[in-house]
Structure 1
Amino acid sequence: MQEISNRLIQSYALSPERRHALYRRTLVVVILSQIFGGAGLAAGVTVGALLAQQMLGTAGLAGLPSALFTLGSAGAAFLVGRISQRRGRRVGLSAGFIAGGIGAAGVVLAAVTNNVTLLFVALLVYGSGTATNLQARYAGTDLAPARGRATAVSMAMVSTTLGAVAGPNLITPLGAFATSLGIPALAGPFLLAAAAYILAGIVLFFWLRPDPLLLATAITNQDQAAAAAAPDAPSRPEPPLNSRGVTVGTTVMVLTQVAMVAIMTMTPVHMRSDGHGLTEVGIVIGIHIGFMYLPSLVTGMLVDKLGRVPMAIAAGLTLLAAGIVAATAPAQSMMQLMIALALLGLGWNFGLISGTALIVDATPLETRAKTQGSIDVLIALAGATGGALSGVVVAGTSYATLSLAGGILSLLLIPVVIWAQRTRPARTG
């Protein structure tokens, strides 16, 4: 707390208007960083599997890059969460983004030198950007009112759309630019990722001041101390950790992540095997990423107004629909694949925002960032599992089987959230 002076704490504690203005400014800074962050994450999603297939010479291991950078994001989520708890969001998030940029640069070097070992190591480090891009969504909630937390998450996420949609649609020009530099075309998007992640880190490091988490924690601590010093005054202690809420929120996000990553990872490989070009792959993945983030503003409002549980159920049903549409898509049907990947992104969006809101509702400020980081580790490991197994499943069966399995798996979150709604007091909607 030494980074926040008592005078500054007092000025915000005594002025709800000033605190709200800081909340809005924090969202602006987070939104700007997320625009760059979205461009950075799009590289691995779009061409990571294709680059590995090219370097390894087999489609069976094409899911490995997704598994590696998702595994790397698990370690980064743990570290970023703990750094953020101790030093604030500004330090934790900026460090994570810059590490992701270094990893992206390492992927480019690995492609140039055809060094598979370096590729694997670089993908692990590149995962730091993915983890940080997700954890940045929490920064907007630290100063948000309780019933506006999902909306705050959605505002942070929707800004990712600008960079994330642009990234896949720049595959062809980035590939041409990379080739002109003597770099393999598939490594081109990672050039963009390196620059974008580093810029996101710079934005957060210099402009996310005062730190929203440190300030919110300090104000809460001051309020509690004042209440303890005046026993007759009305007290509003911060709710303790709600373990059931954490469990349900985590389950929702883990299951949606597994289903989404598994299907998304193998879609470019499936399309290439059916004769689709890189531009077509970029369009489909661009639409998918757009639907992952663009509906966020509407989703956030729905989660705040309709409740966390109904929107989590909607996530499971939407992901099932995505799996069915993908599994039944004819080999040359771009339209059906676009619809399937749009539904896949939308279902993930529903699950991530409702699950995030459940987690924020259930965690006190003094442990919130650390708990969020630990949960994001589980989400990342779930994604790594989905990515690693996706190539094996497709190689052993088919893309249709993988898609149906992912859709059916996502349905498991429905009984979990219904159980939670029936067995815990209603406090999150």
Structure 2
Amino acid sequence: MASTFARNQWALCAAQLFAGIGVATGFAVGGILAEDLTGRTELAGFAQTASILGAGLLALPLARLAEVRNRRWALGLGYGLALTGALLIVAAILAGLAPLFFIGMGFFGAATAAGLQSRYAATDSAPERLRARAMSIVVWATTVGSVLGPNLAQPGARLGEALGIDPFAGPFLIAVGGYLLSFVCVLFLRTPPPTTTGSEAVDADDGEPDSTAERPLPASRRGGTWTAVRRSPGAMLGLLSVVSGHMIMVATMVMTPVHMDHHGFGLGLIGVTIAGHIFGMYGLSPVFGYLTDRFSPGRVILAGQVLFAAALVLGFIDAVGQSSFLRLSIALFLLGLGWSACLIAGSTLLTQEIDPAHRIPVQGLSDAGMNLGAAAVAALAGPLLAIGGFAWITVLGFVVLSLSVLAGIRTGYGARGPR
């Protein structure tokens, strides 16, 4: 089991690194391409929306595939679909077809769905006392790709020019390479022995225990996926903290650059603010993994909610008073930390509180909820910003946060202390 755990950690981290390059490279120019292909500025945000929706719609099917086959099949298909999406985007750029571009961006979102499932895959072979840390290290690996990706946009454009095609197609060719490498990495995954049966199957490829499509579902599985969550208050808290945290982060992060632009901040300062936010999201995730294993998921979720509240208060103050680069940078950094705390701790709580028979479907439900919820608030954030300014974005964040806080109070934040 130990060798399986170590091998899977390396494979998942490498896949996350390369996929992060692909996602970040594509998003760096996605909005510009949407505006260029459609000729309408108001449609620029639909590139990201299409990708988020794609991730949300694919999360449950990929989780189902992981359940009936294994993680290798699910993650391989996810990165394969993302690779296909990148190729469709290149074709759309060359042909000047906006509908094909948005379809490609939908498939592009499969990389996000696979990346989110990877954090759960890290816990499959991890000892219980190390689950949060195993998850956090895989999340941390995204940092490298997320930082490198945007910086490869310009070299990608030069690649496009060198090949004699549209320069904007170049970054997506880099994404094709990143997803191809991610696909290769997940082929090295081993499936740990099932914990819900008394026997072990053997993987013919590597001699390791494996669960396959032919294995029947455990007899202990009762009811549907949502019923399984409702039976466990702790699991409900984990699900709500993950989904609400992602919704708060996306709504605030997407609108902050617009808010800063309205107050005269240049692209350089906006870029620094977003870079600090991304570092808060991923760079310190191992710290939250350690704290979750050491003190309990519920306490880390509470800490994440406090961080969210502090970020939203700072954002509200900035919206109603004189805007400050330093204040917004601190707010976005705290926003990233809150997201990381709630993602790591909430995902760990969801995993440990759900019975194994329902674990993978519930994990898929959480990923679908994250992305579909984020797509909803992203669509709502634009009109709110236009009507009431950035203050209304922070109010939206407080409304969403309150639901998770109420769930935490109801369950005593999981009522589970140090293990």
> Would you call these one fold, judging by a TM-score over 0.5?
yes
Deviates more, 1:394-403 or 1:113-122: 394-403
Deviates more, 1:136-145 or 1:413-422: 413-422
1:410 aligns with 2:401: yes
Using the TM superposition, give the Cα deviation of residue 107 of structure 1 relative to its aligned residue in structure 2, in angstroms.
Answer: 2.7
Deviates more, 1:267-276 or 1:193-202: 267-276
Partner residue in 2 for 1:287? 276
- Distance in 2 (CA, whole Å) between partners of 1:347 and 1:185 is 37
**Equivalent residue for 1:222, pick from 185, 196, 199:** 199
State the AA in 1 paired with 2:407: V
Q: TM-score, normalised by structure 1?
A: 0.81
- Distance in 2 (CA, whole Å) between partners of 1:177 and 1:332 is 39
Query: What pairs with 1:21-420 in structure 2 (closer than 5 Å)?
Result: 21-178=3-160, 181=163, 188-205=170-187, 207-209=188-190, 211-212=191-192, 215-217=193-195, 220-222=197-199, 243-271=232-260, 281-327=270-316, 328=318, 334-420=325-411
Partner residue in 2 for 1:228? none
State the AA in 1 paired with 2:189: L
Q: Structure 1: state its 5+ residue gaps.
A: 1-18, 224-236
Seen in structure 2, the aligned counterparts of structure 1 residues 388 and 367 have a Cα distance that, compared at 3 Å, is: same
- Distance in 2 (CA, whole Å) between partners of 1:183 and 1:400 is 44
Deviates more, 1:37-46 or 1:140-149: 37-46
Using the TM superposition, give the Cα deviation of residue 89 of structure 1 relative to its aligned residue in structure 2, in angstroms.
Answer: 0.5
State the AA in 2 paired with 1:87: R
SS at 2:280's partner residue? Answer: helix
Seen in structure 2, the aligned counterparts of structure 1 residues 88 and 384 have a Cα distance that, compared at 3 Å, is: same
Deviates more, 1:320-329 or 1:125-134: 320-329
Using the TM superposition, give the Cα deviation of residue 281 of structure 1 relative to its aligned residue in structure 2, in angstroms.
Answer: 4.7
CA contact (8 A) 1:323 1:405 kept: no
Using the TM superposition, give the Cα deviation of residue 407 of structure 1 relative to its aligned residue in structure 2, in angstroms.
Answer: 4.6
Deviates more, 1:307-316 or 1:120-129: 307-316
SS at 1:386's partner residue? Answer: helix
Q: How many residues are aligned here? A: 392
Using the TM superposition, give the Cα deviation of residue 264 of structure 1 relative to its aligned residue in structure 2, in angstroms.
Answer: 2.1
- Distance in 2 (CA, whole Å) between partners of 1:283 and 1:307 is 33
Q: Structure 2: state its 5+ residue gaps.
A: 201-218, 223-227
Seen in structure 2, the aligned counterparts of structure 1 residues 415 and 165 have a Cα distance that, compared at 3 Å, is: same
CA contact (8 A) 1:85 1:367 kept: no
Q: Which has the higher contact order (CA 8 A, sep 6+)?
A: 1
- Distance in 1 (CA, whole Å) between partners of 2:332 and 2:162 is 32
- Distance in 1 (CA, whole Å) between partners of 2:39 and 2:154 is 22
Q: TM-score, normalised by structure 2?
A: 0.83
Identity of aligned residues (%): 34
